[in-house]
Each structure stands twice: as structure tokens, then as C-alpha cells.
Amino acid sequence: MTSRRRSTPWIQTWARPIIGGVAGLGLINTTYLTYMKLFGGETQCAVGSCKVLASPYAVLFGQPLSLFGMMAYAGMLALAVAPLLVNEENNRTLKKNLEENSWLLLFLGATGMLLFSGWLMYVMFSQFVIPMGLAGLCPFCLASAIFAAVMFGVTLMGRDWEDKGQLIFQGAIVGMLTLVVAFAGTSGITQSAGAEGAITNNAGNTFFLVDTTSGDSEIQLAKHLKASGAKMYGAYWCPHCCEQKQLFGKEAMKEFTYLECAEDGKNSEAKACAAARPNIEKQTGQNFGFPTWEVGGKFYSGRQVLADLAKNSGYTGPQNFKNGFQVCRQP
């Protein structure tokens, strides 16, 4: 009588290479986003500027959210491929221990990443896609959520789990901890809407806080800009627009004419921005971006130092401007 050896399902044979490959893609994705956040400026998506990535939701405890994602993907990649790199003939015990001990860590890591990605998808669709349409979609964020879902599915099916009850219990604990971190990291975004210097959308969610104060020179320049018909085009989610307001200070930023170009921004003037766009792009030779200044019938793209605004607008008042460049604080 011959015995038949039970064949191993293909998903269990290829589980680790699949997890490693997906984690590698996620690592590339988040490394790019982290680099752009720290050094590269504004990240561009297929639908235009990635508003999600320019918002406070892209920051967790003062650091780029993608940085935490990068570390998570690197950890999953290491756990997935480590046993594959050990020669079984020479280190059979080590290989077996790595395979056994890393599976639970892979499952718990994938569980946490899946739930955190789910929370971020809720934020993206509720705060950006629903009010803005496709302009609020972040393909990089969507890809990361798909990577997390695939890794979770493969870890779940990639081996025969003996104690499924214990697995569910441990996954629930990790899930609760993950959601606590997610809520803690984003809870302050909607709590500062009434603060002086707060930059909010129409729903009252605070994206940035201007916390510099204005001197007499900044206030006088702002009033002159308004009187001379100058105006700034911007969007509440634009970090460079906030940096421009930081140069003026929270008192003076209320004095010059500002046009909110985001359709879901507070006191939106999106139609006026759309009407000005052809002239702006024709004169500057660039795509209409934020901020853009209109001073004396001419358009100036990007953040402007106050001395240049004074010169271009014919301002002759005091010019001992006290504020230098500062990154805007996020709630």
C-alpha cells in the first residue's frame, strides 16, 4: 500500500515571495513620498496636485506619515524574505525558527497596516474625494492600501494556522492599538478651527496654523496691497500659501485680498480663480499654481518675499519686515 503525500497549496508555496514583492513595491512608493515630503516639494498626482499629501493628514506626530509606512514596509519585506535567504542544508534549525516565528509577526504587521490604510481611505474619500471629486484622489495612497490588503490576504492564507482563535484575539489587540494611534494622530486636525491664524476648509477642518505675529511694516504693506488692487490666489490645503501668510503674520494676513480657489474652501471664489487662470498661464508661461500673486496687472507665481511685493506694488512705507521663512505649524 502506497501513501500519498498531501500536496502543498500554491499560495503557501509562494506566500513569502509574494509578500516580499508587494512589500518591496510599498517600500518604493513610501520612500518616494517621504523624499518628496522632506526634500522635493509638492507631490504631483495624475489628477493634479496631491491635496491629501499636502494636508495635515499626511503628518503623524510631527513626521511624514509616509516615513512610518516606509518603515512598516521595510519590516514586512525583511520578515518575508529572511527565511528564504538561509541555506537549509547548513542552517536547518535557524531556517525553521525564522519561518515559524516570523509568520505571526507578518500577520500582525499586515493586520495593523490594513486597518490603518482603511482609516486613511475613509479620510481620503470623506474629506477629499467626496467634496472635490477625482481632484481629491491620491493614487499613491490608494496603491498603498491595495498593497496592505494583498499582504494581509496572503499572510492569512499563506500557512495552516493551528490556533485560529488565538490568532483572531491577537489580531484584534493589534487592530485596537492601530486605531487608537490613527485617531490620536488625526484628532487635533478638527479641534483648532476657531484658533487665530487657523486656515480651514468650508467644513471647519483646520489644515494649517499661522502663528507668526505681524509688525507695523507687514500690516502697512498688506493694507497697501489691498488698496492697490493686488490679490493672492491660493488654496487652504496648499502649504506654500500658508508659508506666504507666515511671512505677513496672523494679523496682517487678514488685511490683503486673498482669493480661495479650492471649491470646498472657506469663502471659495473658485469661479474667479478659473476666470483668471488663462491670463495667468499666458503671462507666466506656467501652469496655474498656488500661491500666485496679481500685482499691478502682472502675475507672479510662487511664494514672494515681502520686499519684492513692496517693490512690485510701489509700496513706500516702512519695510523693516521681521518675519523670515517658516514652515507652517499643523494642528
27: which residues sit within 8 A by CB, 6+ positions away?
Answer: 70, 73, 74, 77
26 and 174 together in one domain: yes
Work out how many domains the chain is built from and give that number: 2
Element (H, E) at 242: helix 239-248
78 and 159 together in one domain: yes
165 and 41 together in one domain: yes
Residue type, 325: F
293: which residues sit within 8 A by CB, 6+ positions away?
Answer: 230, 231, 232, 233, 299, 300, 304, 309
109 and 134 together in one domain: yes
Predicted pLDDT at 170: 87
Selection from 212, 220, 22, 203 nearest residue 127 by Cα: 203
142 and 225 together in one domain: no
In a domain, 220, yes or no: yes
Helices 92-124, 164-186: crossing angle, 10 deg rounding: 40
Give the end of a domain, one of 162, 190, 218: 190
154 and 225 together in one domain: no
* Residues of the domain holding 130: 10-190
272 and 249 together in one domain: yes
Q: Is the pLDDT of residue 200 over 50?
A: yes
- Averaged over 188-192, what is the pLDDT? 50
In a domain, 255, yes or no: yes
* 3-class secondary structure, 301: strand
Selection from 121, 129, 117, 82 nearest residue 101 by Cα: 82
- In angstroms and rounded to an integer, the radius of gyration of the C-alpha atoms of the chain is 26
186 and 208 together in one domain: no
- Averaged over 159-177, what is the pLDDT? 86
For the stretch 262-314, pLDDT in tens is: 998 889 999 999 999 999 999 999 899 999 999 999 999 999 999 999 999 99
- Written as nine digits, the cell of 122 is 475613509
297 and 182 together in one domain: no
Residue type, 20: G
The pair phi, psi for residue 291, each rounded to 5°, is: -80, 160
pTM of the model: 0.61
Element (H, E) at 248: helix 239-248
Q: Is the pLDDT of residue 185 over 80?
A: no
Predicted pLDDT at 192: 45
126 and 218 together in one domain: no
223: which residues sit within 8 A by CB, 6+ positions away?
Answer: 255, 256
